[in-house]
């Protein structure tokens, strides 16, 4: 009987504990969340190692203040698309400085598939405290769903003191400010080598007509004017959309551009078709394009750096971040690779930009404190300092530009300063249109139909009509 | 804190499992010392492993330990369940006690795990105790009135216990300083629906009672059906989340009382009935995990997809067949505008003529041998080739995702099957068979993504001003250079091909004289392309292009970009992978054909071709059917190759990739689900045929 009892108890314990496994294991949340949790932990660890020196320095400075910080002991989570070591690392490092000053914890998590994941997180009711959005279109969607919180007035005051109104407008949805710009990319740029231009007696073109004339002259001289490639895996076609957006700003003006992006003008108006045709005619001029991959549609966009440096082509139109795609050891400036402003049609100087903005999901003092830090020149400078260091330090292009007007320009290289100059002085700055459009178009048909048109599978008319039809 | 608690719970769990299993493994009685040691060691190891997995921040470690612990736990649960049912015949009260305790524990643990109840540990312990006591009483008390009271009482108390702890607000909890919110689970009951569900359940119970010959008491069947109806009406049909506590009590207590009353109405089974319970339980122990797995990973997601396909992009508003209309209304997915182009294409007419010739010759040959139609390898091959070419022309004219998928299915299935069969037959009992077959089988070991990457390099092209690095374009441009050069290389290539052609012609003449007409014709046909090649080389062949001003520049083939035949180049990748598979299967089937059958045919005067078509093919027909259906289903789902090589650009989109892009990039779950359903429905008939075939083979 005793044996029986033992067995009985043992079996009961076994069953009880087996069933308890369900309960015990689900103490950690379901899989995608676990991934977030663990990666936060690992990233903080690695980054802290990198920045220990700077952080301790700052801490000793602030300890002397000797006051009870209301933020002490709090935690703020940030989730964003910047996932490379340089970007995510310097982002976290810049946040760690603020965290150390306030005795709090800020965890940045970077994921390349941010766009998909943030949808699931927000819809599932467990978003991060702050998200870094590369697409204002998504901020508008989220704000209208009621997921994002309006920014309080004192934070807006800091933002307006530091960042220009043109950039702040990207975070404004229906008259309410939801997001703060934290990073800027300048897209209206043409990369070239001044030495090649000088050797052939070419002038940097001042207007779009000059640029077209220069293109023809180069062909006549036996040079290949352009490097073009629009292949980019799942995002193939986006490089063409940048050309379309830039020329729309130039030919039709900012008001038309805004209406086109907001779809109050159909996508396939004659004006848009004319712009598509203009670009494709330029690209399809015999001898106008060097395509590393055989055709424009099969050339990886990043593969245009080496041919430009080696003289296979004379010009390449691409954003400021393209500095990272040139071969190692490429010099920048008048002696190496330089940029000129993608010329305008009528003499105005509209600028196409892109970038990231931060928006908050949780209403808490520590969250707004971090948001305010994002709006401050301190964040901009710390981020640039770390990102420059992570690329090797010194005279390298960090790939980061801040939209903050009060950022320390001394931290940037001359070429980067010229980018910032264009961004800050331009009267008309517009955000990359495809980032503003609904995902079905901006990350879908605009890319795929553009690829079809560039590859000659569809006429311009067919392609723009298909995009128009796909607008949700 | 949560971490510490879960570590403790898991440690205990592991120890308990191992201990329980170790003691119970011994059927005979006293567990030996060795068994105890093993049990303790296993328990400690499991506990340590669990500890390591939980405390680790490494994703890989967490996953690995999770997998190991789950597998071991599943195995131990399985053993324990078997041991439990061993008790049924002889120790009924112990059995019912354990079942009662384990059942209540399982329900509460699931609620605990899904954060359905507050204060889960206490509630689970209490529920386990109540379940155990109720089980013991139901296993011993014999008077029916008392049994009913016990059942209703225990079921009601357990239901109330669960309902009292259920949460009606979103629950926040923190893990690793990260806050999570869980949706509430309380139901909002529509009492009309609840009553309807109970009624439907009761009617079903009545019908079942009727169907089973009215063996059981009517009340029990009604109660069982009604309780199941109650469960559906109370928990599955109402919208969870906008709840009141009253509704939760009604839903939980109702189900609890129903189950309790049902059990209470049953008398204690006699010994033979217990024996039957024990025997039938074995089947369930095996079946339930598998069925549960299939339900949770296959059936429920399928129903959910079907549901989503009738809703808008966010899965909220019912939109009827709009998504299906979009699937077949989008020119990128379903485009028949170019149908007239079929009759304008040379390819179509070449295919049609070849098909006619092939069929015509076969009919003529059929007259000779007395059949209505008789395919020889030559005429059958010609007809198949013609049909395939004509279909190519059709698919090149009808564009869109759906037609691309059909094109894939036709081409890959036909070519892989034919090539696999041909290789299997030709290699059979020949020298170097195993080496050849191994080489052809090798691509099977490469993943689709890997193959896509490899063939991207094969098809790669560079700007024509640079040396080509893609394998095929290197040869193509090189051939152009050779053809234009008129240098020594040109002459060597031209003379070599002419010499080979001459040899073949000589062979043909000899064979013809000897009477081997087939070999003669074959050799003559093979000589033709060689002569043509020499001629083409002279005229200029390969990757070059003469500009208007007389300049000659290199010219590459954009295999993946030039629509519509880039689809065929993509299909080649899958054919390359799958031919090895079909070859191996056919080879095995051919070797299984009894040799006396073939010998008998030979004795009767059958030629080699006749033996193949009339003996071997009918013998391996079932295998061919299996291979074709397997291939069709596989090709229908093709995704990786297209994703890697073109991502659906350049007119190469297929349904699976289209579905992925609609659902996950554009977050249009309605359209994505509709595409999934279309694919599912398209695969169904083939699966049906396959299953019917298997059933036939079994019977």
ipTM for the predicted complex comes to 0.71
Q: Flag whether B626 is in a domain.
A: no
Query: Would you say the C-alpha torsion A84, A85, A88, A91 has a positive or negative sign?
Result: negative
Domain end, chosen from B62, B83, B101, is at: B62
> How would you classify the pairing of strands A429-431 and A172-173?
unpaired
Q: A42 CA to chain B: closest CA distance, Å?
A: 7
Range of the domain at B204: 92-308
Rounded CA-CA distance A387/A82 in Å is 12
State mean pLDDT over B686-693. Answer: 83
Q: Check CB contact under 8 Å for B101 and A457.
A: no
Domain identity same for A122 and A210: no
Which SS3 state, helix, strand or coil, does residue A181 take?
Answer: strand
By the 8 A CB rule, do B143 and B264 touch? no
pLDDT of residue B12: 57
- By three-state DSSP, how is residue A78 classified? strand
User: What is the C-alpha to C-alpha distance for residues B214 and B362, in angstroms, rounded to an integer?
Assistant: 64
**A46 or B677: which carries more pLDDT confidence?**
B677
Residue B479 tokens read as 């051939």
Same domain for A298 and A374? no
Q: In the prediction, which pLDDT does A142 show?
A: 84
Domain end: B282, B308, B334, which one? B308
Is there a contact between B461 and A312 if contact means CB atoms under 8 Å apart?
Answer: no
* Together in a domain, A238 and A325: yes
The tokens for B173 are 């909890």
Q: What confidence score (pLDDT) does residue B18 get?
A: 58
pLDDT reading at B539 higher than 90:
no
Q: Do B57 and B190 lie in a common domain?
A: no
Q: Which residue of chain B comes nearest to A362, CA vs CA?
A: B179
Distance between B21 CA and the closest CA of chain A, angstroms: 8
Instruction: Round the CA-based radius of gyration of chain A to a whole number and report it.
Output: 26
Cα–Cα distance between B565 and B459 in angstroms, integer? 13
Per-residue confidence (pLDDT) for residue A189, from 0 to 100: 92
Are residues A265 and A390 both part of a single domain?
Answer: no
Q: Which residue in chain A is spatially nearest to B65 when comparing CA positions?
A: A25
Using CA atoms, how far residue B12 sits from A201, B9, B17, B99, B108, in Å, is 82, 5, 8, 21, 18
Within-domain flag for B111: yes
Within a domain: A72: no
How many angstroms separate the CA atoms of B657 and B14, rounded? 43
For residue A404, give Cα distances in angstroms to A139, A372, B292, B434. 20, 12, 56, 70
| B positions 626-685 inside 8 Å of A (CB) | 647-651, 661, 664-668
Question: pTM here?
Answer: 0.72
Task: Clarify whether residues A59 and A82 are in a common domain.
Answer: no
Q: Are residues A84 and A232 in the same domain?
A: no
The percentage of chain B sitting over the pLDDT mark of 70, rounded to a whole number, equals 86
Decide if A417 is inside a domain: no
Q: Which residue of A lies nearest to B127 if distances are taken between CA atoms?
A: A16
Domain containing A169: what range? 77-185+354-412
Q: Is residue B276 part of a domain?
A: yes
Residue B540 lies in a domain: no
A vs B: CB pairs below 8 A: 212
Residues of B within 8 A of A298 (CB-CB) are 461, 558, 560-561
Q: Is residue A359 part of a domain?
A: yes
Q: Report chain B residues whose CB lies below 8 A from the CB of A26.
A: 113-115
Mean pLDDT for the stretch of residues A21-27? 37
- Cβ pair A163, A181 in contact under 8 A: yes
Query: Which of A13, A35, A67 is the last residue before a domain boundary?
Result: A67
The B residues from 430 to 469 touching A (CB cutoff 8 Å) are: 460-466
Look at the alpha carbons of A26, A29, A31, A37 in this order and tell me if their dihedral is positive or negative.
negative
Enumerate residues 6+ apart whose C-beta is below 8 A from B385.
Answer: B351, B354, B358
Window from A247-256, B307-316, B613-622 with minimum mean pLDDT: B307-316
Is A153 buried (19+), middle (13-18) or exposed (0-12) by CB count in 10 A? Answer: exposed
Answer whether residue A422 is part of any domain.
no
Contact A16 B462 (CB under 8 A): no
Contacts of B331 in chain A (CB under 8 A): 466
Average pLDDT, integer, range B474-486: 85
A129 with A172, same domain: the answer is: yes
Alpha helices in B559-646 (DSSP H): 566-591, 595-603, 608-611, 617-636, 640-645
Residue B30 is predicted with a pLDDT of 57
Which of B178, B462, B473, B670 is most worth mutating to test chain A (most A CB atoms within 10 A of its CB)?
A: B178
Distance from CA of A2 to the nearest CA of B (A): 11
Residues A329 and A463 in one domain: yes
**B106 and B35 within one domain:** no
Between A17 and B132, where is the model more confident? B132
d(CA B303, CA B295) in angstroms, rounded, equals 10
Contact A21/B462, CB-based, under 8 Å? no
- Whether B20 and A13 lie within 8 Å, measured CB to CB: yes
Say yes or no: B121 and B270 in one domain: yes
Total domains in the fold of chain B: 2
Residue A277's nearest CA partner among A430, A463, A435 is A463
- Contact yes or no for A448 and B649 at CB 8 A: yes
Same domain, B168 and B287: yes
The verdict on B256 and B169 lying in the same domain is yes
User: Which of A6, A36, A439 lies at the smallest CB-CB distance from B667?
Assistant: A439
Taking the Cβ of residue B114 and every Cβ of chain A, the question of whether any pair is shorter than 8 Å is answered with: yes
Domain assignment present for residue B557? The answer is no
Residue that finishes a domain, picked among B275, B308, B341: B308
Assign A18 a pLDDT band (cuts: 50, 70, 90). very low
Contact at CB, B650 and A472, closer than 8 angstroms: no
- Answer whether residue B168 shows pLDDT above 60: no
Angle (CA) B620 B625 B630, round 5°? 125
Can you tell me the distance from the alpha carbon of B133 to that of A358, in angstroms, rounded to the nearest whole number? Answer: 58
Same domain, B54 and B157: no
CB contact under 8 A, B6 and A24: yes
Dihedral angle computed from the Cα positions of residues A177, A181, A182 and A186, in that order, rounded to the nearest 10 degrees: 170
Residue A84 shares a structural domain with residue A154: yes
Instruction: Tell if the CB–CB gap between B175 and A233 is shorter than 8 Å.
Output: no
3-state secondary structure of A271: helix
Query: Is the CB of B222 inside 8 Å of chain A's CB atoms?
Result: no
pLDDT(B478) > 80: yes
List residues bridging with A108 in a β-sheet.
Answer: A78
Asked whether residue A340 falls in the same domain as residue A448, the answer is: yes
The pLDDT-based confidence of B180 (bands split at 50, 70, 90) is very low
Q: Are residues A210 and A267 in the same domain?
A: yes
Query: Can you give the three-state secondary structure of B91-156, one letter per residue?
Result: CHHHHHHHHHHHHHHHHHHHHHHCCCECCHHHHHHHHHHHHHHHHHHHHHCCCHHHHHHHHHHHHH
CATH number, domain containing residue A404: 3.40.190.10
Residues B139 and B241 in one domain: yes
Same-domain check for residues B284 and B147 = yes
Does residue B377 lie within any of the structural domains?
A: no
The tokens describing A61, both together, are 């400075």
Same domain? A221 vs A309: yes
Q: Decide if B145 is inside a domain.
A: yes
Tell whether B244 is covered by a domain. Answer: yes
Other CB atoms within 10 Å distance of the CB of residue B521: 14
Domains identified in chain A, total number: 3
End-of-domain residue from the set A67, A95, A110:
A67
Q: Residue A332: inside a domain, yes or no?
A: yes
Q: Which of residues 156-175 of B touch A (CB under 8 A)?
A: 170, 175
CA distance A456 to chain B (A): 9
- Which strands sit side by side in the sheet containing A289-290, from one edge to the other? A289-290, A226-227, A315-317, A189-192, A338-341
């Amino acid at each position: 009987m005793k044996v029986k009892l033992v067995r009985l108890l043992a079996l009961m314990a076994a069953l009880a504990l087996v069933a308890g496994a369900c309960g015990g294991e689900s103490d950690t949340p379901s899989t995608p969340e676990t991934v977030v949790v663990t990666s936060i932990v690992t990233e903080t660890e690695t980054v802290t190692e990198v920045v220990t020196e700077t952080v301790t320095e700052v801490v000793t400075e602030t300890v002397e203040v000797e006051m009870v910080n209301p933020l002490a002991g709090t935690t703020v989570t940030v989730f964003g698309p910047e996932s490379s070591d340089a970007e995510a690392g310097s982002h976290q490092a810049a946040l760690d400085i603020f965290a150390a000053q306030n005795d709090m914890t800020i965890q940045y998590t970077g994921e390349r598939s941010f766009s998909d994941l943030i949808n699931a997180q927000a819809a599932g009711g467990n978003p991060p405290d702050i998200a870094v959005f590369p697409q204002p279109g998504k901020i508008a969607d989220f704000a209208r769903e009621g997921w994002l919180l309006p920014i309080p007035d004192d934070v807006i005051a800091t933002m307006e003191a530091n960042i220009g109104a043109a950039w702040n407008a990207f975070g404004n949805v229906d008259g309410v400010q939801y997001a703060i710009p934290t990073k800027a990319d300048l897209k209206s740029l043409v990369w070239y080598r001044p030495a090649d231009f000088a050797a052939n007696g070419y002038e940097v073109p001042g207007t779009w007509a000059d640029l077209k004339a220069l293109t023809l002259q180069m062909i006549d001289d036996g040079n290949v004017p352009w490097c073009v490639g629009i292949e980019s895996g799942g995002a193939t076609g986006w490089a063409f959309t940048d050309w379309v957006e830039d020329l729309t700003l130039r030919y039709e003006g900012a008001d038309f551009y805004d209406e086109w992006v907001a779809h109050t003008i159909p996508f396939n108006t004659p004006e848009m078709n004319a712009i598509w045709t203009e670009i494709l005619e330029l690209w399809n001029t015999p001898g106008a394009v060097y395509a590393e991959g055989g055709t424009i549609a099969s050339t990886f966009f990043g593969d245009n750096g080496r041919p430009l440096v080696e003289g296979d082509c004379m010009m390449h139109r691409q954003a400021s971040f393209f500095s990272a795609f040139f071969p190692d050891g490429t010099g920048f400036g008048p002696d190496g690779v330089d940029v000129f402003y993608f010329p305008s049609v009528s003499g105005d100087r509209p600028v196409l930009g892109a970038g990231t903005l931060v928006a908050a999901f949780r209403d808490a003092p520590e969250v707004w404190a971090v948001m305010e830090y994002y709006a401050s020149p301190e964040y901009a400078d710390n981020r640039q300092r770390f990102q420059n260091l992570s690329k090797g330090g010194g005279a390298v292009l960090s790939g980061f530009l801040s939209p903050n007007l009060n950022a320390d320009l001394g931290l940037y290289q001359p070429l980067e300063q010229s980018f910032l100059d264009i961004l800050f002085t331009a009267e008309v700055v517009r955000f990359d249109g495809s980032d503003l459009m609904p995902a079905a178009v901006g990350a879908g048909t605009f890319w795929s139909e553009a690829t079809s048109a560039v590859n000659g599978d569809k006429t311009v008319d067919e392609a723009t009509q298909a995009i128009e039809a796909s607008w949700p | 804190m949560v971490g510490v608690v879960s570590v403790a719970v898991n440690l205990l769990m592991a120890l308990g499992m191992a201990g329980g299993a170790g003691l119970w493994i011994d059927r005979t009685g006293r567990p030996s010392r060795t068994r105890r040691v093993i049990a303790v060691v296993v328990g400690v190891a499991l506990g340590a492993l669990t500890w390591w997995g939980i405390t680790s921040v490494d994703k890989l470690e967490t996953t690995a330990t999770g997998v190991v612990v789950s597998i071991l736990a599943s195995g131990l649960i399985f053993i324990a369940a078997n041991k439990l049912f061993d008790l049924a015949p002889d120790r009924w009260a112990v059995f019912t006690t354990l079942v009662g305790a384990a059942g209540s524990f399982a329900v509460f643990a699931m609620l605990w795990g899904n954060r359905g109840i507050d204060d889960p540990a206490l509630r689970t312990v209490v529920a386990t105790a109540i379940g155990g006591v109720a089980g013991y009483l139901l296993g011993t008390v014999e008077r029916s009135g008392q049994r009913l009271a016990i059942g209703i009482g225990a079921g009601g108390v357990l239901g109330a216990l669960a309902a009292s702890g259920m949460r009606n607000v979103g629950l926040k909890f923190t893990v690793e300083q990260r806050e999570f919110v869980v949706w509430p689970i309380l139901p909002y009951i529509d009492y009309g629906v609840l009553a309807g569900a109970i009624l439907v359940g009761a009617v079903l119970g009545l019908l079942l009672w009727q169907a089973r010959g009215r063996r059981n008491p009517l009340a029990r069947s009604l109660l069982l059906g009604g309780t199941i109806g109650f469960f559906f009406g109370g928990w599955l049909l109402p919208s969870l989340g906008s709840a009141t506590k009253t509704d939760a009590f009604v839903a939980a207590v109702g189900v609890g009382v129903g189950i309790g009353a049902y059990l209470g109405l049953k008398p204690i089974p006699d010994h033979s009935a217990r024996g039957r319970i024990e025997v039938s339980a074995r089947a369930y122990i095996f079946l339930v995990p598998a069925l549960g797995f299939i339900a949770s990973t296959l059936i429920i997601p399928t129903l959910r997809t079907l549901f989503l396909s009738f809703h808008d992009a966010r899965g909220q508003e019912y939109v009827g067949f709009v998504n299906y209309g979009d699937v077949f209304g989008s020119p990128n997915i379903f485009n028949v505008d170019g149908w007239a182009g079929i009759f304008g294409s040379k390819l179509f007419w070449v295919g049609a003529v070849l098909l006619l010739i092939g069929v015509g010759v076969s009919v003529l040959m059929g007259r000779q041998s007395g059949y209505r139609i008789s395919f020889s390898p030559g005429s059958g091959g010609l007809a198949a080739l013609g049909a395939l070419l004509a279909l190519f022309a059709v698919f090149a004219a009808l564009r869109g995702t759906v037609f691309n998928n059909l094109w894939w299915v036709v081409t890959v299935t036909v070519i892989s099957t034919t090539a696999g069969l041909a290789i299997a037959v030709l290699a059979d009992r020949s020298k170097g068979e195993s080496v050849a077959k191994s080489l052809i089988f090798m691509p099977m070991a490469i993943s689709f993504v890997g193959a896509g990457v490899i063939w991207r390099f094969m098809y790669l092209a560079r700007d024509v001003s640079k040396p080509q690095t893609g394998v095929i374009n290197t040869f193509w441009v090189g051939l152009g250079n050779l053809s234009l050069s008129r240098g020594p290389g040109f002459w060597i290539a031209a003379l070599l091909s002419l010499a080979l052609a001459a040899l073949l012609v000589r062979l043909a003449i000899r064979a013809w004289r000897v009477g081997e007409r087939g070999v003669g014709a074959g050799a003559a046909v093979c000589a033709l392309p060689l002569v043509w090649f020499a001629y083409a080389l002279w005229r200029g062949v390969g990757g070059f292009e003469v500009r208007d001003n007389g300049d000659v520049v290199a010219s590459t083939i954009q295999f993946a970009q030039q629509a519509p035949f880039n689809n065929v180049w993509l299909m080649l990748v899958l054919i390359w992978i799958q031919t090895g598979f079909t070859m191996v299967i056919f080879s095995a089937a051919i070797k299984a054909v009894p040799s006396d059958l073939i010998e008998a045919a030979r004795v009767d005067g059958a030629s080699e071709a006749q033996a193949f078509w009339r003996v071997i093919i009918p013998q391996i027909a079932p295998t061919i059917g299996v291979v074709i259906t397997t291939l069709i289903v596989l090709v229908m789902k093709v995704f990786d190759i297209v994703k890697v090589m073109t991502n659906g650009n350049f007119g190469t989109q297929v349904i699976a990739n289209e579905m992925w892009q609609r659902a996950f990039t554009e977050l249009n779950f309605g359209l994505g689900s509709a595409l999934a359903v279309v694919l599912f429905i398209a695969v169904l008939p083939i699966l049906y045929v396959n299953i019917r075939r298997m059933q036939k083979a079994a019977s």
